A and B are shown apart, each in its own frame.
Chain A
């Protein structure tokens, strides 16, 4: 198999420590970026929706909006791959707790917001996007597996794709099992060809399972606190650290990524 060659045109990032990709670049450059406010702004959502939206939706729409703005593309034209290992944990915690105590009182809104594709649903509604959209999961390999799916859409369909990968913090008894300590989200706009907005070229290659690339602190600690932060080696690479990284694409499969700034 030859490498999957794709081009990055936009990057989005949000965590309690990093407001965006520029904050990561500044951190890696030795500065101390100012942490963002406690709740992602998610400015792409209409104000009414923003007020009511669950955490997973705010987080996904924040990073998606950042990446699309950087790419200069029209969001309505982008196919969407939204990945998450656990979906919206506060909603799952609410649902399971309510079902255990008073199932007939379950909120209909929280139920329809509990579907794994709620964030991509809200995104396509907010941006008027009729392109194919999907919501995927692959446990601890959700970012790598989502990137592989996004790259396969970019190349097989020869179109630009928005990849988003987010996980909320854990909540309630479920939170102790998932071990998600804090939220993390990232997004990439990926294209099949070099263009004016190209930031980097990536060559993806499937490999046997391999350990994730090492990270320095504080990134290593952040990665341990959220499965979507498994993307940090690639994010750091895009910010200029190293030119090759390895991520899990499945329990038994690795993804080797080589980067060139072009």
Chain B
């Protein structure tokens, strides 16, 4: 049995996705049930599908000193870092603890592979990368975390977690362990993924992309809509920030079933959920809201809805917000952590946008429309290819299980 963990304070957090830049924009879109999805206008030969694109990501110009890192993914990271006063919070933490005592732990599924794709589209005459693409640091999975550490001037542990769509949920666990062991005093966690041909054509090849805006948990759902996003959180010890919302627990587990299909009984997802509740010292009945993984793929939603039905009472409300943002892949964990924290802060259960004809497998917990109620405890589910599952538990400031 796991020990109950000492909660961590979330002293800053932010998200930038198709529904806007920063927390206020996200809250507005959720309140108005306004999707950020649009017909695919990305790449030179767009597939017929819908995407969650961040307006203006391509127009962000990095400062000269960071120019070597320029690419869509790092530009979106830069845009995300500038929302909700996040940079100022990190600077203050840096002044408190020192640059070497703050880690940068970021999740991404494809990092800046879009830049590598571009390099291959315009190879020079001898078949190599064109001169302006000869920037080794962006043609590697660590591009994002290395860029963010450089941009923030942080010198502690710096790690990329790349476990597909659970990536930016798992980084909360990395941070908790390092803080508990005294390796660091604070961590910048989060993640960024951007639209690129690899994921658009890749998920299309797997026949997992819907031709329409995605419909999570709808009886007629027919696949995902791919999105892009950046999100960050600053984690510190709770004793120095008693008024901040809390990370109460986390769980991680493996399906050991299939590379691209979830375990039919949701085994790994349930193990991750149990571990998150155990670390948080929570009973399932104390959970007010669950932000579901809910990708709108046939299999994920079926397995996840069954898990909600058997693990939670009807008073626990549940919804997917992929209908707002699209599936932001490696960034989904942090975007949905931010939405879970908004639910706590504003007492808003976001409705499950796109689920107009609920799948009968969905029980009484599903919130199909927005609901207003106090939320003390919120969970966020994130599941990835390779059967990689994560569950995070958050609570309002001062909550004790």
| Co-assembled chains A and B | yes
- Measured between beta carbons, the chain B residues less than 8 angstroms from A87 are 141, 162
Q: Which of A96, A106, A155 contacts B120 (CB 8 A)?
A: A96
- Measured between beta carbons, the chain B residues less than 8 angstroms from A262 are none
Asked if B255 CB lies within 8 Å of chain A CBs, one says yes
Asked if A157 CB lies within 8 Å of chain B CBs, one says yes
- Please choose the segment from B71-79, B86-94, B173-181 that sits at the chain A interface, where 4 or more of its residues have CB less than 8 A away: B173-181
Asked if B140 CB lies within 8 Å of chain A CBs, one says yes
- Measured between beta carbons, the chain A residues less than 8 angstroms from B136 are 177-179
Interface pair B116/A174, CB less than 8 Å apart: yes
Distance in angstroms from A167 CB to nearest chain B CB is 11
Interface pair A145/B206, CB less than 8 Å apart: no
Kindly supply a per-residue 1/0 record for chain A positions 127-161, scoring 1 wherever the CB is within 8 Å of any chain B CB and 0 otherwise. Answer: 11111111111110110010011001101110000
Interface pair A100/B386, CB less than 8 Å apart: no
Kindly supply a per-residue 1/0 record for chain B positions 143-170, scoring 1 wherever the CB is within 8 Å of any chain A CB and 0 otherwise. Answer: 0011001100001111111111000001
- Measured between beta carbons, the chain B residues less than 8 angstroms from A115 are 109, 162-164, 384-386
- Measured between beta carbons, the chain A residues less than 8 angstroms from B156 are 250, 253
- Please choose the segment from A12-20, A24-32, A117-125, A234-242 that sits at the chain B interface, where 4 or more of its residues have CB less than 8 A away: A117-125
> Contacts A1-B183, A100-B121, A253-B157; is A132 near B178 (CB within 8 Å)?
no
Distance in angstroms from B106 CB to nearest chain A CB is 10
- Measured between beta carbons, the chain B residues less than 8 angstroms from A118 are 259, 385-386
Q: Which of A96, A129, A153 contacts B254 (CB 8 A)?
A: A129
> Contacts A99-B120, A252-B100; is A120 near B162 (CB within 8 Å)?
no
Asked if A97 CB lies within 8 Å of chain B CBs, one says yes
Asked if B62 CB lies within 8 Å of chain A CBs, one says no
- Measured between beta carbons, the chain A residues less than 8 angstroms from B258 are 125
Asked if B65 CB lies within 8 Å of chain A CBs, one says no
Asked if B139 CB lies within 8 Å of chain A CBs, one says yes
- Please choose the segment from B194-202, B319-327, B344-352 that sits at the chain A interface, where 4 or more of its residues have CB less than 8 A away: B194-202
How many residues of chain B are within 8 Å of chain A by beta carbon? 71
- Measured between beta carbons, the chain A residues less than 8 angstroms from B207 are 108
Kindly supply a per-residue 1/0 record for chain A positions 45-60, scoring 1 wherever the CB is within 8 Å of any chain B CB and 0 otherwise. Answer: 0000000000000000
- Measured between beta carbons, the chain A residues less than 8 angstroms from B260 are 112
Distance in angstroms from B267 CB to nearest chain A CB is 7
Q: How far is the CA of A213 from the CA of B253 in the complex (A)?
A: 36
Q: How far is the CA of A116 from the CA of B166 in the complex (A)?
A: 12
Distance in angstroms from A136 CB to nearest chain B CB is 5
- Measured between beta carbons, the chain B residues less than 8 angstroms from A179 are 136
Asked if A224 CB lies within 8 Å of chain B CBs, one says no
Q: Which residue on A lies nearest to B133, using beta carbons?
A: A177
- Measured between beta carbons, the chain B residues less than 8 angstroms from A127 are 256
> Contacts A85-B142, A122-B259, A177-B134; is A99 near B384 (CB within 8 Å)?
no
> Contacts A100-B117, A116-B141, A178-B136; is A111 near B202 (CB within 8 Å)?
yes
Interface pair B142/A137, CB less than 8 Å apart: yes
- Measured between beta carbons, the chain A residues less than 8 angstroms from B139 are 174, 177-178
List 14 additional A-B contacts (Cβ < 8 Å) besides A134-B161, A177-B136: A2-B182, A4-B181, A84-B141, A96-B198, A106-B205, A116-B163, A118-B385, A124-B255, A131-B253, A136-B162, A139-B140, A250-B158, A250-B159, A252-B100
Q: List 14 A-B contacts (CB under 8 A).
A: A97-B120, A117-B162, A125-B259, A125-B387, A136-B161, A148-B159, A149-B159, A152-B177, A174-B116, A177-B129, A250-B156, A250-B158, A252-B99, A253-B156
